[in-house]
Structure 1
Amino acid sequence: MKLDLDGRTALVTGSTQGIGLAIATCLAQAGARVAVNGRDGARVEEAIGKIAERVPGAELVAAPADVTTPEGVERIAGVLPAPDVLINNLGIFGARPALEITDEEWRRYFEINVLAAIRLTRRFLPGMQERGWGRVQYIASDSAVVTPVEMIHYGVSKTALLAVGRGFAKEAAGTGVTVNTVLAGPTHTEGVEDFVYELVDEDLPWEEAQRTFMREHRPQSLLQRLIEPEEIAHMVLYLASPLASATTGGALRVDGGYVDSILP
C-alpha cells in the first residue's frame, strides 16, 4: 500500500514529544506538510529539528500555541488556516486516588483532553467540508474502555472522546471528510516512564520496571510490553490517507490486545 499524503497539510497537536512527535514524523515521511504544535516555541523548534533530521526535505511549520484556549486556536489558524488533516493528540495523564481528585482537576482534564479537541474541530472541520476532503482524528486510549482505578479522571476524558469522534463523524457525513478515534494502548514515552516509576519500585532498571508494570498493572495486554509511539503513528497515517476513505465514525484500537473484546 502506498500511503501518500503529498500535497496535504496536517496539524498535530502536542507534537513536540512522544506519540505526537512520532505521528508528525510519520506524516512528514508520507509527504505531508506538517505543523508541529506545543506551547513552548523553543521545544517546537527542537521537535522540527528532530523531524527534519529523520525526514530530509520535509516541509515543516512551527505552530506554537496553547490550543486549550480560544486565543491559542486562533493563533494556530493564523499560521495554518486550512489544514487537510487534524490530529487531536494533546492530552495529559497522571495517577491520583479516585476520592482525592478535586473539582479543579476534573475540569482541567476535561479542558485539555476533550474541549481543546472539540474547539479545534469546530474551527477547522467546516473548511474541510467545503473543500470536500479532510481527516479528523482523536487520540484516545484503552482507558476509554477499561477505566483505570488509579486515574479515572483520565479514563473518563478519553471515554468522552469516543462520543466526540462519533458525533463529529455524523456531522461530516457525506462530505468527503472522515472522523475517527484511535485507542492507543500502554505506550512507551518519556511521560509514561515517569508514570511507571510512580507505580513500581523506582530503583528497578527500566526493562525490569516495564515488565513489572505490565504484569501488575496492565496484565490484560496480549503484547506484554509497552507499545512504541511509531506503532500508534502507523495507524494514524493509514486513517489520514486516501486509502481509509471508507473508515469513519470508528474507534480503532492500537492497544496490543489490551481491551478484551472481539469488536474494534
Structure 2
Amino acid sequence: MEYFLLDASGTVLPYFRRGHFRLTRCNVDKEHTVNIDLTGKTAIVSASTAGIGLAIATGIAAAGARTVVNGRKQDAVDSAIEAILKTAPHAQLQGFAGDLSSQAGCDALTKAVPQADILVNNLGVFGPGDIFSTPDDDWARYFEVNVMSGVRLTRHYLKGMMERKWGRVVFISSESGLNIPPDMLAYGFSKTAQLSIARGIAKQAAGSGVTVNSVLPGPTLSDGFRSMVEDTAREQGKTVEQVATEFVRAHRSSSIIQRAASTEEVANMVVYVCSPQASATTGAALRVDGGVIDTIA
C-alpha cells in the first residue's frame, strides 16, 4: 500500500515518507485521513540544528507551527533554517543561537521568546563511562545539560500553557533511561531522571489541557550515530546503514526491527504527541526504540 505525506496545503513532502500532518492511504475516503494542524501555535525545539532535533523541528514547522530553531552557533541555526525551508517552504521559523545548558542561556531564550505552546526538550549530551571511570564533574554535567535545561525551560513556559488551557511539553529521553547501559551510566541516569520529571510535571498540569510526555528513541541514525560508524563503514566498504544495522544486531540484540530508526521516525512520534489528536496522552513514556526494551508495559 502506498502512502503520501502532505502538508496543510496538500503538497507532497519529500523529507518524511510517512507519519504526520496528513497521512493519506490510497483508495480510502476522507474519514480515514488524519490531519495534524499546528497553525497558530508557537513551538520551541531545543538543540534542533541537526539529527533528531532538526527532524522534529522540520515536522512541527511543516504542520504549521511557528517554530523556534535552536543551536549554540548562529551559522548552525542558519543552516538548519535553510534545510527546513527546502522541505517546508512556507514554514514560519525563528532562530535562536544560544547554549541552553546554563541558566543564563535559558533566560536569554525566554526573553527572546516569552511564550510558547509547544516545548520539545531535546538538548542532551552522551558519552561512555562506567561507575569507576566517570568523575564527579561528568555526573554534574550530564545532570545540568540533559536534565536541568528541560526543567528550566518547562518551569518558564508551563505556566502560560496552563493559563491558556493548552500546551504540549515533550522530553526527549532514551531507551537507555529504562535499559540502563553500565558503560554509559551517567547518561542513563540523566535519561531516567527525565522520565520521572516528565511524569511529575504531567500530574502538576492535571486537568489543564496541557500534556507532558517523554519520547524514548532507541538506536537512531542521527548525525552523531553516523559519525560514530562512518570510519568503520569506509574501512569495510559498507554503507553507514549496513554498519548501523550490524551494530544494532550486535549491541541491541533485543531490537525487534533489527535496525536503527531514522530521525524522521522519531520525529513522527513527537509531532503526533504535540498535536491536538494526542490530548488524552500525558504522563507517558513513549518508545520509538524498535522494540529494544524487552518488556510489555
Q: 1:160 aligns with which of 182, 190, 193?
A: 193
Asked if structure 1 preserves the Cα contact closer than 8 Å seen for 2:221 and 2:244, the reply is no
Q: Could you tell me which residue of structure 2 aligns to residue 252 of structure 1?
A: 286
Residues 87, 137 of structure 1: 8 Å contact kept: yes
Which of the numbers 240, 245, 259 marks the counterpart of 1:211? Answer: 245
Equivalent in the alignment of 1:51: 84
1-structure distance, mates of 2:123, 2:92:
22
Distance in 2 between the 1:111 and 1:80 partners? Answer: 22
Q: Which residue of 1 aligns with 2:8?
A: none
For residues 203 and 98 of structure 1, do their structure 2 counterparts lie closer, same or farther at Cα, with a shift above 3 Å needed?
Answer: farther
SS at match of 1:100: coil
Report the counterpart of residue 73 of structure 2 in structure 1.
40
Distance 2:169 2:279 in 1: 12
Extract unaligned runs of 5+ from structure 2.
Answer: 1-33
Unaligned ranges ≥5, structure 1: none
Task: Give the Cα separation in 2 of the matches to 1:58 and 1:91.
Answer: 25
Q: Secondary structure at the match of 1:99?
A: coil
The partner residue of 1:220 within 254, 263, 271 is 254
Residue matched to 2:217: 184
Between the two proteins, the alignment pairs up a number of residues equal to 262
Indicate the residue corresponding to 2:37 in structure 1.
4
The 3-state SS of whatever aligns with 2:35 is coil
Structure whose residues are more often helix by fraction: 1
Cα deviation for residue 102 of structure 1 reads 0.7
Residue 100 of structure 2 corresponds to residue 67 of structure 1:
yes
Using structure 2 for the length normalisation, give the TM-score: 0.85
Deviations 1:145-187 (A, max 9, x none): 1011221111111001000100100111111111000011110
Tell me how far apart the structure 2 counterparts of residues 119 and 66 of structure 1 sit (CA, whole Å).
13
SS at match of 1:143: helix
CA distance in 2, matches of 1:145, 1:79: 35
Within the candidate set 266, 271, 274, 1:240 is matched to 274
Amino acid at match of 1:214: V
1:141 aligns with 2:163: no
Give yes or no for contact 1:166–1:179 (8 Å, CA) kept in 2: yes
The runs of at least 4 aligned residues of structure 1 exceeding 4 Å deviation read none
Structure 1 residue 81 corresponds to structure 2 residue 114: yes
- Whole-angstrom distance in 2 between the partners of 1:142 and 1:177: 24
Question: 1:211: how far off?
Answer: 2.8
**2:60 equivalent to 1:27:** yes
2:123 aligned counterpart, secondary structure:
coil
> Is residue 178–residue 249 contact of structure 1 (8 Å, CA) maintained in 2?
yes
Q: CA deviation at 1:61?
A: 0.3
1:62-85 Cα shifts (integer Å, max 9, x gaps): 111111111111211122111100
User: Which of the numbers 111, 116, 132 marks the counterpart of 1:99?
Assistant: 132
Residue type matched to 1:15 in 2?
S
C-alpha RMSD of the superposition: 1.5
**Greater length-normalized contact order (CA 8 Å, ≥ 6 residues apart):** 1
CA distance in 2, matches of 1:190, 1:233: 14
CA distance in 1, matches of 2:124, 2:98: 14
Equivalent in the alignment of 2:22: none
Q: 1:97 deviation in Å?
A: 4.0
CA contact (8 A) 1:88 1:139 kept: yes
Give, in angstroms, the shift of residue 141 of structure 1. 0.6
Work out whether residues 95 and 195 of structure 1, in 8 Å CA contact, stay in contact via their aligned partners in 2. no
Counterpart of 1:181 in structure 2: which amino acid?
A: S
Does structure 1 residue 231 correspond to structure 2 residue 297? no
Check 1:201–1:102 CA distance in 2 against 1; reply closer, same or farther (3 A cut). farther
Instruction: Give the corresponding residue for 1:150.
Output: 183
- Judge conservation of contact 1:87–1:136 (CA < 8 Å) in 2: yes
